Structure 1
Amino acid sequence: MATFFLIIIYMAFISLGLPDSMLGAAWPVMQPEYGLPLETAGFLYMVIAGGTIVSSLLSGKVIKMIGTGKVTVISVFMTAIALLGFSFSSSLIWLIICAIPLGLGGGAVDAALNNYVATHYKAHHMSWLHCFWGVGATLGPIIMSVFISGQFSWRSGYVAIAIIQFSLVVLLLVTLPLWNKVAKNRQVEITEDSDYSPDVNLQNVKPLQIKGVKLAFVSFFFYCGVEATMGLWGSSFLVNIKELSPATAAKWISFFYAGITIGRLVTGFITLKISNLILIRTGQITALIGAILLILPIPVSFSLVGFIFVGLGLAPIYPCMLHETPVRFGKEHSQRIMGYQMAVAYTGSTFLPPLLGLMASQLSIGIFSIFIIVYIILMLISSEKVNTLMKTRLFQSKEDIDLKA
């Protein structure tokens, strides 16, 4: 039953990834149709991400009230309605209205499922969970490119994704009784896959007062900043700087998400042998190499390699950081801190891509690669500082145990 239910969760994450990459892939075609400036996509992304921030911050209380299963069903239904609304939107105002439930639904289901898997399953399941998000994020631009390169419009692409979401809502409703049953049967020792051990002294500390929590927030902030900026502005960078067609650019963006997807599939197996911390560090260095390829004056084909490298590098970072949450900061605090992490992560999605859009409208979208490099470096620095703090805490805890003995 647990395996079957895990498949349902994976499918939910496919649906979570599908709309995340749709706007960036469709924007080169949507922009001239609406007659809007380039940076408007950044504003829409801010609205979507703003909704996810609100729902992520409230997720801990809402999940406690009605349960993870019901939150997931309601959230996916909201995203389905929002995507259908996008397809019928006749103006920017309607796009903004539809962006609100899209963000609220995405943030709630993200926080709920991440903590459920981090608490009840081992590290490789977390990587595979986000691998399936990558499946959805990869399919999004592919589906959109099929519609915008054929006789249909981008609106038909949104309708297709909405139909998939509504189908998942039905499946989630049927399997709703399984959520509590599986949770009761799953007893996973979360310390098995980590370099750290939970500190019993954390039980009486408020979540935001735990050392390392705020630095972890910084890592999530810049991680989502990189991922969202790549997804939102990657097509525009390829069309305006590399002179590719919108349909070709959308396909290239799908390779970026494919890099994330394949990387997380492989990471799921690697976590059985290698710790989360090593995977996070290796991924950040790989992403940095890919970003450097984007800035070099080399043939356009190397840009595709750069996009894939950034995707592969990002692959292990997010799921591994999430899975470390109960271990770093205590299982009793994990749901609330997970919600906070989601909120901060989406804050990065809210402000960092629009920041690039604003700067690009004044200068050139050519600054895209510079921003990606800076974001990755800041993520790497904050992540390493968290590791140092956790090792110090572990060392102090062992000293305290020795003194008591």
Structure 2
Amino acid sequence: MSVVLLVVIYVAFVGLGIPDSLFGAAWPALHADLGVPVSWGSLVTMVTCCGTVVSSLSSAALIGRFGTGRVTAVSTALTAAALLGFAVAPSFPWLCLLAIPLGLGAGAIDTALNNYVALHYKATHMNFLHCAYGVGITVSPFLMSLALSGGTWRDGYLEAAACQAAIMAATIAILPLWSRVGHADEDPAGEKDDDPAPRAASPLALVRRRDIRLACLVFMASVAIEGVCNTWCTSYLVSSRGMGAGEAAGMVTVYYVGVTAGRFLSGVLANRLSSKQLVGLGQAVTFVAVLVLLAPLPLAAAPVGLFLVGFGNSPLYPNMLHLTPRLFGRDLSQAVIGVQMAASYVGALTLPPLFGVAAERVGFWLFPVALLALSVVVLAAFLGLMALKGWRPRRPGVPCEVS
């Protein structure tokens, strides 16, 4: 039963990744079909992101009242309904309206399952969980391209909605397992198997704490690296490196392949290395990658640099989430994860557009400079958090500890 539950959690995270890149793949055909300016796509993305922030901050109260299983099932149903709505939406305002349940559902799924896996499973499962997300975000543009080759963008959204409906059915089917499956062998901290009673804490009270502010800064800057790469790497390669537009468009895929590969390898290594070590090694790779982009190397080195940025930055998100119960307490982890993920979404919503404004005025040669600055922020905030928590290095054969 434990295996079945874990498999469905993985599948739910594949489904979580599907909508995140589906809209971008559909937008060129979608905006032309609905007759709206291409720039309006950011409005839908912003509404979705705001929904995720709201649901992330509300997750502790919702899960405390209804439980992880019910919140996951209902949230998956929300995303399935939103995707179906996108498929039949008659006009652009409907897309903005449907982006609200899409964001609310995605944020709740993300926060609920991350906390559950952080509490009950080893770090390797957290890394593989986010590798599953990488599979979803990589596959969905392919699904949309298949739909567009023989039909319309609406067919792509219908296929995505069908996938989410199947995942919804699976999450409903396993509802009885959430209370019956034990995790004594999987509990990474060797603590009590039962979920601790969530401690009541408002987001405002949490962010007054210096340690939580540092953790939020780590998440915000790390996700900003991803957002800047996703949004602006093509413009950088075309404007500053002279790459052809068609070739440059495929470099986003190279970045996400690096993300997926990095999380898979991180999952494999999690039984040998601590989460802190995985984050540190990943950031070292990220610095090397940024230097590759900064150096006056041939254009062929640029895809290597982008791959390594994704590869190096990818272990941070799952491993920081896995550390949350040990850094802040099992009873407070759900609330803290909600705040951390809200900070991530705020970083994704604000920092890439700010970089776009700066690059438009100064030049896209700022791209690797911005990545370097964000990497420095990530590393400084992470080291500051570990020092504040009195990190004790892991001894051989002993689980890592944070005092």
TM-score by length of 2: 0.84
- Paired position in structure 2 for 1:63: 63
Asked if the contact 1:222/1:379 (under 8 Å) is kept, the reply is yes
Q: What amino acid does structure 1 have at the position aligned with 2:71?
A: V
Residue 381 of structure 1 and its aligned partner are, at CA, apart by 1.6
The residue that corresponds to 1:344 in the other structure is 343
Deviation at 1:188, TM superposition (A): 4.8
User: Does the 8 A contact of 1:210 with 1:329 survive in 2?
Assistant: no
Deviations 1:52-110 (A, max 9, x none): 11000000000111111111111112112222333344544233222221111111000
Using the alignment, how far apart are the partners of 1:360 and 1:26 within structure 2? Answer: 26
Aligned match of 1:45: 45
Q: Is the 8 A contact 1:130 1:264 kept in 2?
A: yes
The share of aligned pairs that are identical, in percent, is 37
1:85 is aligned to 2:80 = no
C-alpha separation in 2, matches of 1:77 and 1:35 = 29
Report matched runs for 1:111-122 at 5 Å: 111-122=111-122
In 2, distance between residues paired with 1:180 and 1:377?
A: 43
Number of positions where the alignment pairs a residue of Structure 1 with one of Structure 2: 380
Query: Hey, what does 1:5 align to over in structure 2?
Result: 5
TM-aligned CA distance change 1:14 to 1:152, over 3 Å = same
Per-residue CA distance 1:16-51 (angstroms, 9 max, x = gap): 11112223344455566645254x444432221111
Q: CA deviation at 1:215?
A: 0.4
Question: CA 1:358 to 1:24, structure 2 compared with 1: closer, same or farther past 3 Å?
Answer: farther
What corresponds to 2:196 in structure 1? Answer: none
Q: What RMSD over aligned residues (CA atoms) do the two structures have, in Å?
A: 3.0
- Partner residue of 2:213? 214
- The Cα shift of 1:145 comes to 3.7
Matched, 1:242 2:243: yes
Matching residue of 1:305: 304
Counterpart CA distance in 1 for 2:38 and 2:256 is: 26
Residue 30 and residue 369 in structure 1: after superposition, are their counterparts in 2 closer, same or farther (change >3 A)?
farther
CA–CA separation in structure 2 for the residues paired with 1:367 and 1:121: 40
Higher RCO structure (Cα 8 Å, ≥6 apart)? 1
Residue of structure 2 in register with 1:273 after alignment? 272
Aligned to 1:284: 283
Change (3 A) 1:252 1:101: same
| Equivalent-residue separation in structure 1 for 2:299 and 2:154 (angstroms) | 30
Amino acid at match of 2:385: V
Structure 1 equivalent of residue 370 of structure 2: 371
* Rounded Cα–Cα distance in structure 1 between residues aligned with 2:88 and 2:371: 33
The one-letter code of the counterpart of 2:349 is T
Query: Which amino acid is the alignment partner of residue 125 of structure 1?
Result: H
- Per-residue Cα deviation, 1:262-285 (whole angstroms, up to 9, x for no partner): 211111121111111111122123
Give the letter aligned to residue 10 of structure 2. Answer: Y
Deviation for aligned residue 1:360: 5.0
Would the alpha carbon gap of residues 171 and 294 (structure 1) be closer, same or farther in structure 2, given more than 3 Å must change?
same
Find the residue that maps to 1:102 and give its secondary structure.
Answer: helix
**1:15 and 2:15 aligned:** yes
Within 5 Å, give how 1:32-181 maps onto structure 2. Answer: 34-38=35-39, 40-148=40-148, 150-181=149-180
Q: Residue 256 and residue 220 in structure 1: after superposition, are their counterparts in 2 closer, same or farther (change >3 A)?
A: same
Partner of 2:355: 356
Question: What is the CA–CA distance in structure 1 between the aligned matches of 2:110 and 2:277, rounded to whole Å?
Answer: 24
Distance in 2 (alpha carbons) for counterparts of 1:244 and 1:166: 36
The code of the aligned residue for 1:308 comes to F
The answer on whether the counterparts of 2:36 and 2:92 sit within 8 Å (CA) in structure 1 is no
Q: Using the alignment, how far apart are the partners of 2:150 and 2:200 within structure 1?
A: 61
Task: Please list every run of 5 or more consecutive structure 2 residues that lacks an aligned counterpart in the other structure.
Answer: 192-198, 394-403
Give yes or no for the alignment of 1:264 onto 2:240: no
**Relative to structure 1, is the Cα distance of residues 163 and 350 closer, same or farther in structure 2, using a 3 angstrom cutoff?**
same
Structure 1 range deviating more: 122-131 or 296-305 = 296-305
SS of the residue corresponding to residue 324 of structure 1 reads: helix
| Bigger proportion of residues as helix | 1
Distance in 1, Cα, partners of 2:361 & 2:72:
41
Query: How high is the TM-score relative to the length of structure 1?
Result: 0.84
Amino acid at match of 1:285: A
Q: Which amino acid aligns with 1:2?
A: S
Shift of the 159–9 alpha-carbon distance from structure 1 to 2, 3 Å rule, reads same
Deviation, 1:341, is: 0.9
Structure 1 residues 250-304: Cα deviation after superposition (integer angstroms, max 9, x where no partner) = 6432332222222111111211111111111221232233344445555443332
Cα separation, 1, equivalents of 2:151 and 2:15: 22
> Given the superposition, is the C-alpha separation of residues 356 and 54 from structure 1 closer, same or farther in structure 2, using an over 3 Å criterion?
same
